[in-house]
Amino acid sequence: MNNEARPEYRENPSPRQAYRLTMTIKDAPGPLKIIASAAQYDVVNRECLPPPKDNPGGRSSPVPTRDIPFELAQVSDGVYVGTVYADAMIDEDYHGRGVCRWELIQARAHLKATGADGETRFIAGLSQSEGEFQSGQPKTTYFWKGGYPASKIEDFPDFGEPEVDRFKFDIRNELFTIALASEEVAP
């Protein structure tokens, strides 16, 4: 077993690359409560990570990842605003193998009817790899109202669909949307 202490990856105390996220909920079948919202950051240059000592010739070390919660505050009926930072983690030489570069991977919001155990988790997000932070265009995700407040599967994670035509024709009038939009702002 590897007895070396793992480094403590550090958050940036003064991030400057801000994105304002706006989440808009339309036609929901009832109230939705935000139960979690977080931005995910990963180290994107694996060469800064140590080779695995317990698996010679095997896979490299796992990619460090960090979820940083952010608040989505309600500004009007069905509209919430929050801020995430592209530079929320400190790029640093954590392992003595060169600077590890952190990048914003995605931001997600998880919503439930009341927040109770067993309810469906409606999950909407933006992805950096898809250019959704820079596009300025809202990303709309469609959800079936029949999964509200709970589906047959307890705590079902519903990621919705990006297009209406992915739903059966006879339920397309039973959908609600969660749209996320991002704009770069000065902190």
**Domain span at 180:** 18-146+159-185
pLDDT of res. 163: 97
Whether the CB-CB separation of 178 and 124 falls below 8 Å is answered with yes
Q: Does residue 6 fall inside a structural domain?
A: no
Closest CA to 104 of 137, 122, 135, 130: 130
**Edge to edge, what strands does the sheet with 139-144 contain?**
73-76, 79-85, 18-26, 175-185, 139-144
- Give residue-wise pLDDT tens across range 25-74: 999 999 999 999 999 999 999 999 887 775 556 566 788 999 999 999 99
For residues 37 and 109, the answer to whether their CB atoms sit within 8 Å is yes
Alpha-carbon distance of 92 to 168, in angstroms, equals 49
Sign of CA dihedral 149, 153, 158, 161: negative
Residue 1, pLDDT > 90, answer no
**Percent with pLDDT over 90 in the chain:** 84
User: What pLDDT sits at residue 2?
Assistant: 47
- Structural tokens at position 21: 């996220």
Is 154 a domain residue? no
- Which two three-digit tokens encode residue 166? 């992915």
Residue 13 is assigned to a structural domain of this protein: no
In a domain? residue 5 = no
Q: For residue 23, is it within any domain?
A: yes
| 4 in any annotated domain | no
In a domain, 83, yes or no: yes
pLDDT band with cut points at 50, 70 and 90 for residue 6: confident
Instruction: Count the domains in the chain.
Output: 1
Residue 136, Cβ density class (10 Å: 0-12 exposed, 13-18 middle, ≥19 buried): exposed
What pTM did the predictor assign?
A: 0.91
